Amino acid sequence: MKRLFKFVLYLAVIAFVGITAYAYLGDMAPGVETKSIPVVLDNT
């Protein structure tokens, strides 16, 4: 049981380090794009 706990703890630490590295090093910036949509207004 102790061995299983150490393994799960090890996986949790590796996952935390991996997610942190991805957050800092990954390309997570959104793409910027200008959109122009024509709007027709009713003159009532």
| 35 Cβ contact partners less than 8 Å away, ≥ 6 residues apart | none
Range 16-36 burial, b when 16+ CB lie within 10 A, else e: eeeeeeeeeeeeeeeeeeeee
Cα→Cα distances 41→36, 37, 38, Å: 16, 13, 10
Over the stretch 18-34, which tens digit does the pLDDT of each residue have?
A: 999 988 887 767 788 99
Supply the pTM of this predicted model.
0.55
**Could you tell me the pLDDT band of residue 44, with boundaries at 50, 70 and 90?**
low
* Residue percentage of the chain with pLDDT more than 90: 59
